[in-house]
Structure formats: C-alpha cells, structure tokens
Amino acid sequence: MTRVLLAKEWRGMRSFAWLLAALSAVSLADIATGTLYALHRKHTLFEDHHWATEAMLVLLLAFTLGASLLARELEDGTLAFLDGLPLRRRDVFLSKLVVAGACLSLFAVVEPVAGWLLHATLRHSVAEPVPAATLAALVLRYAVLVAAGLGLGLLCGFVRNLAWALFAMACAAVMLLRSAWPRAAAAIDPTGLVADGWSTQGFGGETAWTVLGLTLTCLALAYGLFAHAGGATMARLARLGERRGVVPAMYVGAIILVCVGAYEGRDAPGPGPGDSGLASAGQAASTGAPAARKVVTAHYVFNVPAGMAVEDSDLKAADGAFDKALKALALALALRGARPIDVDLAGSVENTDGVAAQDRIRLNVHPGWENTLVHETVHVIAATVAGPQHRTELQRMRVFNEGLARWAEPERRLSAQQRHEDDLAVATAFRRRQLGQDNLLDADALARDLDWELVYPLGARLVDVLVARYGNNAPVLVLAALNQSAFPRDLKGYALYRSAFQLAGFDINLVLNDYALDLRRLDNQYAQAIDALPRPRGLLVREGGRTGIAVQLDRPAGIAARFHVRFRPRDDSAMQEIVAVRQLDKRAGRAVAWAPPAQVANDKVCYQIGVSTGAAVTYEPWSCLPLRVAAP
C-alpha cells in the first residue's frame, strides 16, 4: 500500500515536477552559456554565483508546495475516502513528505552538482578545487532548507488563504530581527544554510541546528493537526481564512510589516570600526539622550560625549585602572603632584581601541574597555617617568613601550587564551625566520618586515624576560634611565636599548640571550602546530572599477579558515593609513578582499594577509603587486 500511496502522490504533483524540471533546464542553460563564458574570460567558475538568491527560490518553492499538500486532501474530499482504507494518516503524511522532499531536493542540488563536476573536469580553472565532503555538506544543508520550507508550508496550509500572509510576516520578523538582534536573525534564517555556497564547512553552527530544530517542530505540529485533529478541525481552520475581513486585514498587516522590516534593514546603522554596543546605543537614543558632561574621579577626568549611555558609577569603578597600572609597574604610590588624566570617550583613531598622546587618552567604549584603559594609563605613566625631554627615545623603544603596556593588562595576565595567542604569534615569526635582533629592537623595521601589531606580544615577552632576570621594578628603572641628563640623544635600535639598559644597571645582551632561549622553547612547543598552519597567498584581481586580493591557501585548512587582509597605499605608510578588511566576498570557494580606492596608489596594491584557523591570527609579510599583473 505504501507503493500505491507514493504513486498517488507522484501523480498529484507531476505538474509541479515539470515546473521544477523546466527551472533546472534554465539553470543548466545558464551554466552552459554565461558561466562557461565567464570561465574562459576570467578563468574562474561560479565567481559571481548568488547562493542566497537561489536559497530563497528553493524556500519559496518548498513553501508553495507544502501549503497545498495536506489542505488539498480536504478540498478534494479524499481525506474521508483515505480514512475508510486500511491506512494510517502517518503513512499518508510521510508519503507526501517523501515525494515532495525528493522532487525539491533534486531540483536544489542540480546546479551545485553540475558546478562541482565542472570543477573536477575543467583543469584550466584557477579556482580552488571543491572537496567532495564540501559538496556532501552542501547537499545536506539544501535538504534541511527544503524541509524547512515544506514544514512551514504544511503548518500554514491549514488556514489556506492566510498562508502567504503568515509567510510574509515570518520574513518581516527576520528582517526586523536583523536590526535589533542580528545573531538571532541569522540563526533562524533558513537561507543562511547555503548562503556561503562552497565555502561551507561541514554541517553545524547556530543556523544549521536552530533551523533544523524549528523545522522538526513545524513538521511535528503539522503532523499532529493532520493525524489527530480530524477533518472537522481542518475544515474550521480553512474557514478561518475565508471569513470576511480577515484575509484583507492579515494581508494589509503583512504588507506593513514587510515594509517596516525592509526600511529597518536599509537604515539600521552598522557598527563602525570604532563603534561599540554601548556607544551605538547611546548615539541612537532619542532627543532625551544625556548631554555631554565631565566625570571627575580620583585619577581621571572622563569626557563623555552627548548621547553616550554610560553611567557615572561605571566610570568611577573604572578608576581602579590607575591602581592596576601602578601595581604592574611596581610603583607603590601615585606620582606626587600628578594631575588627573584626561580621558576622551568620543573614540580613538582607526585600527586602535585606544591611544595615549600628550598625557591625554582617547578610548573607544567597547566590552572590556577598562583593560584598554589600564594599557593606555601605563603609557601615560611611562612617559611621565621617562620625562618630557626624552619622549622621542621612548617612542623609538616602541617594542618595549607597547610591550610594557600589554604586559600590565590584567586581562592578559588572567586569560590563558590571550597568552596562547601571543605565544603562537611570536613562535611563528621566530620559526619562519622572520624575526631577528634588528626588527625586534626597531619598531619601524618590524612594521616594514612583518606586522606592526607584533610589538605587543614581542614586547610583553621582552618585559617578561627582563623582570625574570632583574626583578619587578626593572621596567621602571629602564624608564627612569631615559630621564637622566646623561642619556645620549638621537639613538636608535640596539644602541638605544643598550644605553637605556646600561644606565639602569642591566646588561642588554644577557636579556637578549634569555629572550632567544625563551623563543627556542616556544619553537619546540609550537613546532608541530606552526608547520600545520596553511600559508596564504594573494592573487590580484580586478572587476569593473574595483581591485582586490583573492586569497588562496597552499594546503587545505583543517577547519574553516578566516582571513584578514590589510591594505596600505605605500611601503612607508603610517599606522593610521592602514585599512583592515575582514568582511571578504565569497567567490568560487575562495575569499576576495576589495581594496578601498584610497589604498591603491602608484599603480600598485600593497597588502598583508592574515589567516585564522582558530583563535590566533598569523600574518604574512607585506607584499606589493603592480596593477598590470591583475587578473581580469
């Protein structure tokens, strides 16, 4: 009898199957014309493929079919006939689900499978090969997407004329959530299952499990109504959608919600490089938002901009950052006669959470900003101890200066994860022969050869070694040596460090020897992990008026790799000119970072790629490519 049920369902949806076959033929024709033409022109496959658009089409088709599957039995009068046969409604429900799901799933995977076969057979494509496991995961995600559309359609189909109004309201709810709770919206959006296409790694994540749970819930509710409620209940639900005034009111409400959701999704401001949840909430407040004000504490004068929703009690609690900085520097008492430090909460410069200059601190208010306040307070105290006459020398000792501030951060001292990330970054630079005495003691050389952010973990480890050999007050003695009248001027690199350490009573060579031994220990500890890290390389690409870097790996990553690409207009660009691109386009299974127009200068693109295969990010040296070598 099961075979008979399947045959019955197949006959009932043959017209829909022909529609799916026609749409599949259109997709294959598009591959045979536009996609293959792009392959011969750009040497890449599916670079402009819109996975999210196709996911929405599959969802709409699944909902359309699901909305009519169960209700059709009531409208055609076949439910009473089926109840008279030796059948259970469970068999009827499963047969409908199996036939509809098989037809839709086959339609959904036609184009991905065809694209995968092209990748496997067309050898002259420069696009990275797609592993079979990735295709299998994508097929599984499409199956869940089809089940989600069917489940929602089966459940809404009982109210017939109101089904599409409910679907529109569900879409509007997702759009509204994108503005208020983006994470929740991403978790319940079925199209997010396949939006990344071939960059999908396995089956998992919040979206996959949440959508799967909601799908099973919808299917269970639909089965409960169909199997246990009876024909009378189904008829009452159908009549609900036929009442005068109900259908127009529901559709008007759905249209209003969709318009509001589209408007909110368009106008909702995204977080900028220096924005935080706290600051954004304050800036988005109404005209009753708090005005600009000053909050004076024992050690700081906080300048709070208008509209920022930050409590005075939180600022007074952050006053303890000064004591933490003093304790880290082994200074028992506050500096006599020192005035409170000005702290401007309006935001820091780009690419930084905070900056200290001329005894004034500028901060971005973000989760954990008190840790940044400790960091910048150490800079202010260090500049005071070194004296105003030798602040230039302190700035040239940037590895020591920034390392001391990082070393003093309480979060770094307490977080094993932070220490692991720092150790891995230092060990990687050492093992790959990218680190030497020249760029260790010269921040400009370090920024030129590697990544300027390495001053933090390298400097913190240098301070660790210094304290281990000469005691907790050793960093302050080095700072005080800069303030001596006998300290020579215009020194750089090793000569500068040697003079500061000598006047403090320390031997820089012993410290560097301890440092090398410590790096060797790290090298042995992380050797296997470092050798397993994939090495990224960049391919310069152009599209229309845009220029970007396509990131490729020299070996498959064990887990989903996340890339960070930095651009700078010149080889000697200052830190403030560096632009980091973290949101990369997914094209043909690889990531592309588009360079801002201002970063393309002198007919070349200077970039630096970082790859994250876990918590740590490993950066490659800077590279510059002329525009003439860009792939079309």
In the chain, the number of structural domains is 3
Of the ranges 247-256, 260-269, 436-445, 615-624, which one carries the lowest mean pLDDT score?
A: 260-269
* Same domain flag for 484 and 399: yes
* Same domain flag for 354 and 427: yes
* Same domain flag for 161 and 178: yes
pTM over 0.85: no
- Contact 616/533 with Cβ under 8 angstroms? no
Average pLDDT over residues 554-565: 70
How many angstroms separate the CA atoms of 371 and 366, rounded?
Answer: 10
**What is the structure's pLDDT at 510?**
93
Q: Where are the beta strands (DSSP E) in 397-531?
A: none
* Same domain flag for 187 and 88: yes
* Same domain flag for 501 and 587: no
The answer to whether the Cα torsion of 424, 425, 429, 430 is positive or negative is: negative
**What is the structure's pLDDT at 251?**
57
Average pLDDT over residues 617-631: 81
Q: Bridge-partner residues for 360, per DSSP?
A: 342, 357
484: left (phi over 0), alpha (psi -120 to 50) or beta: beta
**What is the structure's pLDDT at 434?**
81
Highest mean pLDDT among 13-27, 93-107, 117-131, 453-467: 453-467
* Confidence category of residue 240, pLDDT binned at 50, 70, 90: low
**What is the structure's pLDDT at 191?**
81
Which CA distances in Å does 142 have to 218, 330, 377?
Answer: 17, 60, 52
- Contact 552/128 with Cβ under 8 angstroms? yes
**Residue finishing a domain among 473, 498, 531:** 531
Q: Is the pLDDT of residue 584 over 50?
A: yes
**What is the structure's pLDDT at 279?**
36
End-to-end CA distance of the chain: 59
Copy the structure tokens of residue 337.
């006669």
Residue that wins the pLDDT comparison between 225 and 60: 60
CATH value at residue 544: 2.60.40.10
* Same domain flag for 483 and 415: yes
Chain length of the chain: 632
**What is the structure's pLDDT at 542?**
84
Considering the chain, what is the average pLDDT of its residues?
76
CA proximity to 522, closest of 449, 435, 626: 435
* Same domain flag for 174 and 206: yes
Domain contains 13 = yes
Copy the structure tokens of residue 237.
């639900």
Residue that wins the pLDDT comparison between 257 and 388: 388
Copy the structure tokens of residue 181.
């709770």
**What is the structure's pLDDT at 577?**
79
pLDDT digits (tens, 9 = 90+) for 514-525: 999 999 998 899
Which CA distances in Å does 22 have to 9, 17, 26, 28, 567?
Answer: 20, 9, 6, 10, 46
What are the two backbone dihedrals, phi and then psi, of residue 534, each rounded to the nearest 5 degrees? Answer: -70, 145
Q: Is the pLDDT of residue 120 over 80?
A: no
Q: Is the pLDDT of residue 594 over 70?
A: yes
**What is the structure's pLDDT at 85?**
65
Copy the structure tokens of residue 182.
């983006």
Domain contains 586 = yes
What are the two backbone dihedrals, phi and then psi, of residue 288, each rounded to the nearest 5 degrees? Answer: -85, 15
* Confidence category of residue 560, pLDDT binned at 50, 70, 90: low
**What is the structure's pLDDT at 298?**
80
CA proximity to 80, closest of 275, 232, 267: 232
Number of Cβ within a 10 Å radius of residue 89: 17
Domain contains 448 = yes
What are the two backbone dihedrals, phi and then psi, of residue 204, each rounded to the nearest 5 degrees? Answer: 175, -175
Average pLDDT over residues 151-179: 73
**What is the structure's pLDDT at 332?**
59
**What is the structure's pLDDT at 288?**
47
CA angle 604, 533, 400 (to 5 degrees): 70
**What is the structure's pLDDT at 230?**
53
Q: Is the pLDDT of residue 17 over 90?
A: no
How many angstroms separate the CA atoms of 462 and 466, rounded?
Answer: 6
* Same domain flag for 521 and 621: no
**Residue finishing a domain among 531, 557, 574:** 531
**What is the structure's pLDDT at 466?**
92
* Confidence category of residue 506, pLDDT binned at 50, 70, 90: very high
Domain contains 117 = yes
* Same domain flag for 61 and 106: yes
The residue type found at 29 is: A
Of the ranges 130-144, 273-287, 328-342, 418-432, which one carries the lowest mean pLDDT score?
A: 273-287
Q: Is the pLDDT of residue 366 over 90?
A: no
DSSP string across 175-191:
HHHHHH-HHHHHHH-GG
* Same domain flag for 103 and 29: yes
pLDDT digits (tens, 9 = 90+) for 263-321: 555 444 333 333 333 333 333 333 345 677 788 888 888 888 876 777 777 787 788 88
Average pLDDT over residues 159-170: 72
Of the ranges 68-77, 175-184, 315-324, which one carries the lowest mean pLDDT score?
A: 68-77
Element housing 300 (H / E): strand 300-304
Q: Domain span at residue 111?
A: 2-267
Residue that wins the pLDDT comparison between 180 and 396: 396
Average pLDDT over residues 172-187: 71
CATH value at residue 308: 1.10.390
Domain contains 36 = yes
Domain contains 274 = no
Domain contains 51 = yes
* Confidence category of residue 78, pLDDT binned at 50, 70, 90: low
* Same domain flag for 173 and 256: yes
**Residue finishing a domain among 494, 516, 531:** 531
How many angstroms separate the CA atoms of 288 and 100, rounded?
Answer: 55
Domain contains 273 = no
* Same domain flag for 316 and 254: no
